[in-house]
Structure 1
C-alpha cells in the first residue's frame, strides 16, 4: 500500500508541475485558427525556402557529386580490367546531379511558394 501512495503522489506532483508551467494559447481575438496558421506559414515559408536553398540542396549536391565521381572512377577501373565501360550508373548519377543543381530555380514555382 505504501508503494501505491508514492506512485499517486509522484503522478500528482508531475500533473501539478505540468499544469503550472503550461500556457494557454488563443488564436487572435476572434478564434480564427486557420488565419493564425496562414499568418505563421507566410513568415515560416520564407525561412524554410532559405534553409532548403542554402543547406539542403547543397548537401544533396555534394553527396551526389561524391557518388558520381566515385562511380565514374570505379567504372573506369572496371573498363581497364574488363574492356567494357558501363555507362548506366554514372549517367543516372549525373542526371540526378544536374536535376538537383537546377532544382532551386524551378521547384518553388511548382510548389507555389
Structure 2
C-alpha cells in the first residue's frame, strides 16, 4: 500500500510539472500548419546548412578516412600473406570518401537550398 501511494504521488507530481511547463503551440490563427512548418524551415535552413557543412560532413569524412586507411593496411597485409591484392573494399571506401568530401559543393543545390 505504501508503494502504491508513493507511485501515485510521483505520478501526480509528474503530471503537475508537465502541465506547468508544457507550452501549447499554435500554428497560426487560421490553423495553417503547413505555413508554420515552412516558416520555421525558412528561418532555420541556413543554420542547418552551416552545422551540416562544418560538423556532420567533416565527421563522416574522418570516419571514412580512418576506415579507408585501416582497410588499405589490412589489404596490404593480406597481399603479403596470400599474394593477391583485393581492391574492392578499399575502392568502395575511397569512392565514398570522395563523394562525402565533394558533397557540400553540390548537395545544397540538389536539395534546393
Same fold (TM over 0.5): yes
Q: Give the structure with higher Rg (CA).
A: 1
Query: 2:50 matched to which residue of 1?
Result: 50
Alignment partner of 1:78 is 2:64? no
User: In the TM superposition, what is the alpha-carbon distance from 1:35 to its structure 2 partner?
Assistant: 1.6
SS of residue in 1 equivalent to 2:23: coil
Instruction: Show structure 2 runs of 5+ residues with no match.
Output: none
User: In the TM superposition, what is the alpha-carbon distance from 1:23 to its structure 2 partner?
Assistant: 2.5
Alignment partner of 1:64 is 2:64? yes
Matches within 5 A, 1:68-107: 68-107=68-107
User: In the TM superposition, what is the alpha-carbon distance from 1:9 to its structure 2 partner?
Assistant: 5.8
TM-score (norm 2): 0.80
The alignment of Structure 1 onto Structure 2 pairs a total of residues equal to 113
Query: 1:38 matched to which residue of 2?
Result: 38
Distance 1:86 1:18, change over 3 A: closer
Query: What CA distance in whole angstroms lies between the structure 2 residues aligned with 1:94 and 1:11?
Result: 54
What's the C-alpha RMSD, in Å, of the aligned pairs? 2.3
Query: 1:23 matched to which residue of 2?
Result: 23
Query: What CA distance in whole angstroms lies between the structure 2 residues aligned with 1:66 and 1:3?
Result: 53
User: In the TM superposition, what is the alpha-carbon distance from 1:3 to its structure 2 partner?
Assistant: 7.2
Query: What CA distance in whole angstroms lies between the structure 1 residues aligned with 2:17 and 2:54?
Result: 41
Deviation readout 1:48-98 (Å, 9 max, x if unpaired): 111111111111111111111111111112212222111111111111111
